[in-house]
Structure 1
């Protein structure tokens, strides 16, 4: 689970801001809080929402988490640059390092991982294990001098081999990522939490995520059909419809793969229908007695005459397609056990193209499965003020991003405001400007 994320000198954030996912002393919705192993007095929040106007910095938080994951999991190559976007509205900040500081629960261990970097390379990196009694360093890296200096904790393994890995780590590369690639097993839990448990869902089309889930997760298509029907999309089912192989893209690599199909193997093809976020087709290719058999996924609707009609995915509304892109996430988050592998999803603009009641229902369904022994988590940014509801979420699960007249964004938690009753109308207070974060709109010029 994500317990804290701090970022500074990043996009519109000149100063460091923190998204804290450790619960406060608030009692409301306490049944959804998760236990943190070895921290008897602390519990984790299952959900977090960041509100704010356009260009307030909401997406900056999402992109900060995405950039940190990218730096750990993707090798930029010898001449590559790091995905760092420093604050640009003040002299001198461009050359200063951006700070990424993340605390998370992986397996039964709480880690704190810190990276300070510019586009050219990493100046500082560290990993430590946290307990209620304090912290213990796993490794620390300082690149402020001509040569990188490393310090390793006692539990990390062979000092000679670690020194070799450190020397082989380029300045534009994280030690965590390089050490994992070189089989430093003691770092596997931390690395795999960032690479596999932490999932990001942006605002772009999610056709590939839907297609991947459809062919790679048992029971997903049945779940998707039931969810689309339950959530009032007009869809009553999903079916595969046979089509001629001629509809497939004229791609030599695809043709070779089709010729090599054997047994139960299949190929998934996603065809974008045109420019923009929406409109796609999903096809699967099976081997049928040595010959390719192609099926196209279709949605099923029932007309006024009671007869079923089939439609292509691209004919569905943008809201339905956005929902389909979220279904792999919802499928993962329906997990109700206490698995340490439960996903942590961070979603930019969860409400995009969705009706308020639908978005609220998705949140309610998720929270209904959260409890003391669950590890799953959902963080999202949103424009939808109707989700700022204390009957839905706790105050410490709500944050507001706001940009000042100096161009600097800040992140403010509603738990920081005193005197807010559990039954108070937060939307009214927000629109009245009590919490900040509302757009400061100028008047349009008079018409001539």
Structure 2
């Protein structure tokens, strides 16, 4: 579970920013040991080109570094980072990335600082019994180990082969200091931290590949996901009533059997010659159902499938889902329903989180008399006259729990983070364009 994320000198963000997911208001949940220690959803709003995507991109960049820095850079090539480039002095400064995580009920803090040449600093702390314990600290090529780091001789060997451009966390995970599942009785800060980044998902793979994997198994998890997808499509009222799988080959049939609710299951053989699966969608028509392929579906339906499959996997693993422009090609009601899955204890028993960007102000309003986003789940990004972005929460404005229309106040400019449009400039630009067209015609 992500408690907070700090970053500095990343694209349009020059100064240090913090996205804090710790609840500010109870909003009906009394403070107790069972109360959530981080909000399940965060929405970041702002004008076009304000830096919304960059705020999410900073966390995506950190994840990419953790998962692949040990093999992504050739020796002597330096690091490919994305500093603030509008100020030459700022571009030369280090970039900083830090997360606070709650893993197995224990807080962990992991971070690093980099420049164009190498990893400058890296550190990992955890807080058993509420007291800070150092796992490791890195200053250039020098490492300091904590008393509870465990196999120090092994860690020193891994540190010795960690490249200047690689993170120690990445290298340690690559050379066996990891395990497939967390063990609450024997916490391992290095592994547990790496695993959080591994499970965090910035985007899903292609829809076809995902559906092939999901529908090529009859495990309990995949069957549950199938049901979720059909239910989601039916609830979206896009005309789809079922998913059907057929072998995509011309030489013979692959054995098939029917699953509950009309699913078709195709058992793929282990040999390389196993035929690919063809996923089709059963649409209700005037004379029964008709089967259409994925490319026949609307952009909104494909987007709904992509996000639905993505969310199903995240909710199953208790991970964090990162989505840029969540409202793209989706009706606001569908987006709101997707958001509500992460707030539902039934749909989200493992405490998965959703962090997204949007410029759809409808998501700041209500649906069925309930707020789509709570007061401490709303953040804004605004860019100043020097081209630097700033990230700040709605809670800075001390919003009331009831009686405050966040959608209307945002569109009225009370919170900032809206486009500064000039009607005169728009009309002048159109008039100039029309004049040049007329001149060309003459």
* TM-score band, normalised by shorter chain: 0.7 to 0.9
Structure 2 residue corresponding to 1:98, chosen from 95, 98, 110? 95
8 A Cα contact 1:240 1:296, kept in partner: yes
1:356 aligns with 2:356: no
Moved more, 109-118 or 184-193: 184-193
Match of 2:283 in 1: 301
Match of 2:185 in 1: none
Match of 2:181 in 1: none
**Structure-to-structure mapping, 1:39-438, within 5 angstroms:** 43-74=37-68, 75-79=71-75, 81-130=78-127, 133-143=130-140, 148-185=141-178, 186=188, 187-196=190-199, 198-201=200-203, 206-215=207-216, 218-219=222-223, 220-245=225-250, 286-287=268-269, 292-305=274-287, 307-332=288-313, 341-369=317-345, 374-389=350-365, 391-418=371-398, 420-438=400-418
Moved more, 208-217 or 433-442: 208-217
Distance 1:304 1:96, change over 3 A: same
Per-residue deviation, residues 70-107 of structure 1 (Å, max 9, x unmatched): 11111214335534200001121222111001111222
Q: Which has the higher strand share?
A: 1
Local SS of the residue matching 1:13: coil
- Offset at residue 292 of structure 1 (A): 4.5
Distance 1:207 1:105, change over 3 A: farther
Q: Quick one: distance in 1 between partners of 2:191 and 2:271?
A: 43
8 A Cα contact 2:207 2:306, kept in partner: yes
Match of 2:13 in 1: 13
Local SS of the residue matching 1:155: coil
Local SS of the residue matching 1:427: helix
Match of 2:4 in 1: 4
Local SS of the residue matching 2:306: helix
Local SS of the residue matching 1:154: coil
Distance 1:119 1:207, change over 3 A: farther
Per-residue deviation, residues 248-300 of structure 1 (Å, max 9, x unmatched): xxxxxxxxxxxxx9x99xxxxxxxxxxxxxxxxxx988349997455411000
Q: Which has the higher helix share?
A: 2
8 A Cα contact 2:215 2:245, kept in partner: no
Distance 1:17 1:34, change over 3 A: farther
8 A Cα contact 1:245 1:294, kept in partner: no
Moved more, 186-195 or 218-227: 218-227
8 A Cα contact 1:398 1:414, kept in partner: yes
Q: Quick one: distance in 2 between partners of 1:322 and 1:372?
A: 21
Per-residue deviation, residues 330-377 of structure 1 (Å, max 9, x unmatched): 323555xxxxx5121111111110001111122223322269974211
- Structure 2, gaps ≥5 residues long: 179-187, 257-264, 436-442
8 A Cα contact 1:245 1:292, kept in partner: no
Match of 1:269 in 2: none
Match of 2:261 in 1: none
Q: Quick one: distance in 2 between partners of 1:241 and 1:188?
A: 40
Distance 1:295 1:201, change over 3 A: closer
8 A Cα contact 2:100 2:110, kept in partner: yes
Segments of 4+ moved more than 6 angstroms: 288-291, 370-373
- Structure 1, gaps ≥5 residues long: 247-260, 265-282, 336-340
8 A Cα contact 1:122 1:172, kept in partner: yes
Local SS of the residue matching 1:363: helix
